[in-house]
Amino acid sequence: MVIMGYGRCLSFIFHFKSSLKQISNCYRFFSATPEWEPVVGLEIHAQIQSSSKLFSGADTNFQTPTNRSVALFDAAFPGTLPVLNRRCVEAGTLTALALSCDLNQVSTFDRKHYFYSDLPAGYQITQHRFPLAQNGLLNFIVYKGGSDSRLYEKTSQIHQIQLEQDSGRSLHDEIRSLVDLNRAGLPLMELVFKPDLSDGEEAAALVKELILVLTRLGTCSCKMEEGALRVDANVSVHRRNSPLGTRTEIKNIGAIRAVANAVDYEIDRQIRVLQCGKEVVNETRSWDAERMRTVPMRDKEEKQDYRYMPEPNLPPLHLRLTNDQPMHSNMVDVTQLINKVPESPFQMRVRFQKDYGLSLLQAVRLVSEDMLLPLFFNAMNMKQDRDAVILTDLLLNDVLSYFNEDDSCNVVFKADDMGTITDMMKDGVISKSIARIILKELSQSPALSAKEVMEKNNLSLICDPAIIERLCRSVTQENANMLKKHLAGKKDSTKVLETKVWKKSEGRANMNLVKEWFKTNYPFSKK
């Protein structure tokens, strides 16, 4: 639950890189050993999307020049007092509701003391004793690749959600620190998860799901590269049927992949330490992405004493939880907010499978694509009995790549066209490859509709038996040798010949008719 300035941790990494050179590298993988059980819990700091800071009226712009977004309160000038931002309470509440937390009708603020130059007051205002919300849940889907790939559902419990301030940012060199307070006082919500996970892939999947939830709620941008979402991972390892082991905490992991890698590395490191008969030291570590390892961060000789005390300058924060509570201008009205919680990604996945017959994998992929969802919804709303599986495949396999390659966001697809293409594929009017050609045209000339593109380029499938006959004949003539072997019963060349017909027709031949033709005219019988 410790916050660390962003820059502070970077320099630690830098510092430890040099000391690492002396440590011999004997890193091996032990994850497969069944006797060890890893336990992983995450603490995630998410910056609340707001215009002004948590307790001051300074702006939250990420890119202002050094010390340009700093109110006197953020720099801890004497006589300044904290004034809580309503938006931050609302965002925290909304997030808590979306994660099925119990909201506390009254929550309080505390001071947590650290002496760092980027924390000018000498303490961080956080919620220690009575946080905003407790006891939530996050359901997510874990995908494990590799030879025994599998997809499974997992739940992690949320211990609590609390509002707190971010610290400043410091850049270090040998002899001094340069401190920028633009970050100081930015609103954070810290989500403390219970240690329910067992490896890096699950941890990464949890973070991914949380990002989906928060971005859909609009309570956090989740731009990890800007430090808007930072992950701390608590990792310990113990033998099956024995008490939990000593844990270490990996701080400030700033990318989803890094979460998976850091946790898995740390699990392996601890197993290795234990197998050598040594003990895991309770310490704070950081992830060095370049060298793919965790390194110790702070000296561990003393346990940190935060000397928590109630924040005397902030009376308790109240929420209006039920209708029989009187309205109050300084209470966030939860009875209203609850209507603003959108369908969760989890519910959406369940619905997609149930209502549209999508597979779990399709549902997982579709739900995580913000660009595709509106296309999917609109196309399905226009025509309820549309084939959602074909539509989803079209969106995920073909349309998505246009959005991914399109950095300038110029490409626009219309739900109408997606629906038309889906229907034509379903009815056998066009093939997958023609669908691709149509998409390409549409991406270049957004004024046209799918139907117009087809007519303009004469793209519908060739279903005229006479034309099919002609195509097949010419292919068999061009491949006389192959046909000879085929007829002699030595080698079944039907597939190859069919493909040649398909190519000759530029992907427009109705392949069902082509297959039919070969079956009738050149049936294969092995001799």
Chain contacts with another protein (rule: CB under 8 A): 8, 50-52, 56-59, 64-72, 75, 77, 83-89, 108, 115-117, 170-181, 302, 305, 310, 312, 314-318, 328, 330-332
Per DSSP (E only), the strands in 222-336 are 229-239, 248-253, 284-288, 293-296, 309-310, 317-320, 332-333
Q: Which is nearer to another protein, 87 or 436 (CB)?
A: 87
Least distance from another protein to the Cβ atom of residue 177, Å: 5
Least distance from another protein to the Cβ atom of residue 249, Å: 17
Q: Which is nearer to another protein, 73 or 193 (CB)?
A: 73
Number of other residues whose CB lies within 10 A of the CB of residue 440? 13
Least distance from another protein to the Cβ atom of residue 39, Å: 30
Per DSSP (E only), the strands in 90-244 are 102-103, 106-107, 110-113, 123-126, 133-144, 150-165, 169-172, 177-180, 187-193, 229-239
Q: Which is nearer to another protein, 41 or 185 (CB)?
A: 185
Least distance from another protein to the Cβ atom of residue 436, Å: 46
Q: Which is nearer to another protein, 323 or 329 (CB)?
A: 329
Q: Which is nearer to another protein, 114 or 193 (CB)?
A: 114
| Contact indicator for 221, 280 with CB cutoff of 8 Å | no
CA pair distance 143, 364, nearest whole angstrom: 10
Burial readout 297-322 (b: 16 or more C-beta within 10 A, e: otherwise): bbeeeeeeebeeeebeebeebbbbbe
Q: For 373, what's the count of Cα atoms within 13 Å in the CB-facing half-sphere?
A: 15
Sheet with 123-126: strands ordered across: 123-126, 110-113, 309-310
Least distance from another protein to the Cβ atom of residue 114, Å: 8
Q: Which is nearer to another protein, 172 or 436 (CB)?
A: 172
Q: Which is nearer to another protein, 143 or 306 (CB)?
A: 306
Q: Which is nearer to another protein, 172 or 451 (CB)?
A: 172
Phi–psi pair at 292, nearest 5 degrees = 55, 55
Q: Look at strands 332-333 and 317-320 and give their pairing.
A: parallel
What letter would DSSP give residue 338? Answer: G
Least distance from another protein to the Cβ atom of residue 370, Å: 24
CA dihedral angle for residue 400, residue 401, residue 407, residue 409, rounded to 10 degrees: -40
Least distance from another protein to the Cβ atom of residue 434, Å: 51
Q: Which of 29, 26, 421 is nearest to 261 (CA)?
A: 29
Least distance from another protein to the Cβ atom of residue 59, Å: 4
Q: Which is nearer to another protein, 28 or 303 (CB)?
A: 303
Phi–psi pair at 458, nearest 5 degrees = 55, 60
Q: Which is nearer to another protein, 182 or 505 (CB)?
A: 182
Least distance from another protein to the Cβ atom of residue 84, Å: 6
CA pair distance 262, 190, nearest whole angstrom: 20
Beta partners for residue 158, in sequence order: 136, 193
CA dihedral angle for residue 520, residue 522, residue 525, residue 526, rounded to 10 degrees: -160
Residue type, 19: S
CA pair distance 432, 447, nearest whole angstrom: 22
Least distance from another protein to the Cβ atom of residue 174, Å: 7
